[in-house]
A and B are shown apart, each in its own frame.
Chain A
């Protein structure tokens, strides 16, 4: 059984494990969903009304039955009904997902656009002052939490430039691309900054490795121009770890950047989960967390498959 087959076979198993963990851990949350939904008004319900509501949301069944029904529903795209929004969970998630997806893509683009050139530059100027400068930037970037950097951006923009980043609003890109970009650019820079630091470090380290390889030395000794050796011979191979890192980070970002969404008051998946947890919206938490974990696993699987395609040396047991 090769590496790809093994990864494909364990994928549904892990997904099943995730569904069990999500479903049963939510059931451990103290308090019941009906009280959470109606607040103090829940006290006005007659026992019959309460039982009828519990029946409607399916929470009057034994927990294993609820799980089996929930799992069965997943195959039909039915993640249940959100008690907060009174709508199907999948619909609520899909409304929020475009923002999260766009934010994740923008952040990764920013990080790669900054990180790869910076990493290559540092590697080709190894141990010089400029290399140390890039490394310092990368270390600071990795050590700056997104909430610190995000607040700093809001402060600097508002106090020194008189520009207050649009908080709390989101216009889909197909409605008004410019408005959309102005709303997402600062959150994307906030997320992209730390990730750019990681990309810089990884690409610098990978470039240093590749630049000392025999084939690069051969190309140099044959008189190939330095610029061509770096960009055509060395970089494609040095990018393999960057692909992995970007994939994993993209998977994380698809889970919603809870804190950055909170700072910029963006209605993304991360905040949806946070709100659903505080509102004890069982079905929404389960659905959204499963959705995030599913995306994360899919992206990781794709990254692994890309990795195998990019580097044929990887085989089962050879990692």
Chain B
């Protein structure tokens, strides 16, 4: 709660949080079918209509309402981004904590394994995973989660290693606290700050990766609305119907901006050393 208040007081954090809140509301409305028009229904007579009072953001080649499709697309992107980042956080935190706790050989094995995954550019690793499993929503979630797990493992391992050497951890172990208790109560709780920042920034990357994969035709599959697919479809129509490119593009950009602003603000709030340089 204290962090939320600080976030709202932070100038860029306020804007970021507002954007995320707005997107969440739009996504929920879309999920309940509260959209200006039916997002999947085609109105052949209204093909490629420019923005108007009836169709706020215009219509596409099949006469489907862009605004309604954007609302569903935001929901789809958010579901994939949140699910993949949740998985990556869970897996990365477990791996990072265990590597730090066990240290020695296990630390070496686990972290070198993470290095192997980090040796691939993110989109390439995601493409490889999708090539194996086939495109789709679940594959996108798994691919993005696998790509970002090593980053979380690294973010957790470093501070966990130094925390492990601290007196309060030694004291807890001397008093007979179980390993589970020390790991979760003393180590994990102290890692909440760096993890919170990382999660917010990872959400921005996940949105970007999801849109990129869908843009390549390897993410969300039509006819389900997806921001990346909408943008890819607009490529050949941009001269006649620029709104088809403009609105999905702005929607993706604004969503990423929201998470980036929030992530930066959280870093300022949770790490006083960077306060001066909030960019």
Chain A contacts to B: CB under 8 angstroms: 10, 13-15, 17-18, 21-22, 25-26, 28-30, 135, 138-140, 142-145, 147-148, 151-152, 154-155, 158-159, 201, 204-205, 208-209, 251-252, 255-256, 258-259, 262-263, 270, 273-274, 277-278, 285, 289, 292-293, 296-297
For A152, list chain B residues within 8 Å (CB): 245, 249
Query: Are B260 and A145 in contact, with the CB atoms below 8 A?
Result: no
Contact B239 A258 (CB under 8 A): no
Residue in B closest to A278 when the chains form the complex, CB atoms: B131
The 3 closest A-B pairs by CB, nearest first: A17-B116, A143-B257, A255-B121
Whether A262 and B216, one on each chain, are in contact in the complex, defined by CB atoms closer than 8 angstroms, is yes
B276 touches A259 (CB 8 A): no
Known: A14-B112, A204-B279. A151 touches B238 (CB 8 A): yes
| CB of B101, distance to nearest CB on chain A (Å) | 19
Of all chain B residues, which has the CB nearest A254?
A: B121
Check A277 against B131 for contact (C-beta < 8 Å): yes
Chain B: interface residue total (CB-CB under 8 A) = 43
> Is B127's CB under 8 angstroms from A274's CB?
yes
Interface string of B251-279 (1 = CB under 8 A from A): 01110110011001000000000001101
**Main DSSP-derived SS at the B contact region:** helix
Which of A29, A138, A154 is B132 in contact with, Cβ under 8 Å? A29
In the bound complex, CA of A54 to CA of B228 (Å): 38
Is B171's beta carbon under 8 Å from chain A?
no
B208: Cβ under 8 A from any A Cβ: yes
Candidate in B116, B208, B212 with the most chain A CB atoms within 10 angstroms: B116
- B120 cross-chain contacts in A, Cβ below 8 A: 18, 255, 289, 292-293, 296
The answer to whether B156 has its CB under 8 Å from any CB of chain A is no
How many residue pairs bridge A and B at CB < 8 Å?
126
The answer to whether A145 touches B132 (Cβ under 8 A) is no
Flag whether B81 is at the interface (Cβ < 8 A).
Answer: no
| B119 x A205 contact (CB < 8 A) | no
Q: Beta-carbon contacts of B222-241 to A below 8 Å, as 1s and 0s?
A: 00000010010011001100
Assembly CA distance A14 to B119 (angstroms): 8
B257 neighbours in A (Cβ, 8 Å): 139-140, 143
Residues of B within 8 A of A28 (CB): 132
Given A252-B121, A259-B216, A297-B119, A145-B253 contact (CB < 8 Å): yes
Of B117, B124, B215, B279, which is within 8 A of A147 by CB? B215
B216 touches A274 (CB 8 A): yes
User: B277 to A155, Cβ gap below 8 A?
Assistant: no
Interface centre among A25, A142, A147 (most CB of B within 10 A): A147
Q: Are B277 and A205 in contact, with the CB atoms below 8 A? A: yes
Q: Is the CB of A143 within 8 A of B256?
A: yes
Instruction: Give Cα distance in the complex from A30 to B245, angstroms.
Output: 35
Contact with A along B130-150 (1 / 0, CB 8 A): 011010000000000000000
Secondary structure at the A interface, as helix, strand, loop or mixed, is: helix
The answer to whether B260 touches A151, judged by C-beta atoms less than 8 angstroms apart, is no
Known: A148-B231, A204-B279. A255 touches B124 (CB 8 A): yes
24 CB < 8 A contacts A-B = A10-B115, A14-B115, A15-B119, A17-B112, A17-B115, A21-B116, A29-B131, A140-B253, A143-B204, A145-B211, A145-B212, A145-B253, A145-B256, A147-B228, A204-B279, A255-B124, A258-B123, A259-B216, A263-B235, A277-B128, A289-B128, A292-B124, A296-B121, A297-B119
CB-CB < 8 A to A252: which residues of B? 121
Distance A277 CA – B128 CA, assembled complex (angstroms)? 8
A138 proximity list for chain B (CB < 8 A):
279
Which residue of chain B has the shortest Cβ distance to A154 in the bound complex?
B238
A204 touches B277 (CB 8 A): yes
B33: interface (CB < 8 Å)? no
> Are A205 and B279 within 8 A (Cβ)?
yes
Please indicate the chain B residues that have their CB under 8 angstroms from the CB of A209 in the complex: 277
> Is A143 a contact of B260 with CB atoms below 8 Å?
yes
In this complex, what residue of A is CB-closest to B215? A147
Would you call B208 and A145 a contact (CB within 8 A)?
Answer: yes
Which residues of A are found within 8 Å of B242, using beta-carbon distances? 155, 159
Residues of A within 8 A of B12 (CB): 139
Assuming A15-B119, A289-B120, A289-B128, what are 13 further A-B pairs, CB within 8 angstroms?
A13-B112, A14-B119, A17-B113, A21-B117, A26-B132, A140-B253, A143-B254, A144-B253, A145-B208, A145-B252, A155-B238, A208-B277, A258-B124
A200: shortest Cβ distance to chain B, in Å? 8
Contact B235 A151 (CB under 8 A): yes
Q: In the bound complex, how far is the Cα of B127 from the Cα of A167, in angstroms?
A: 23
Complex: A26 Cα to B130 Cα, angstroms: 11
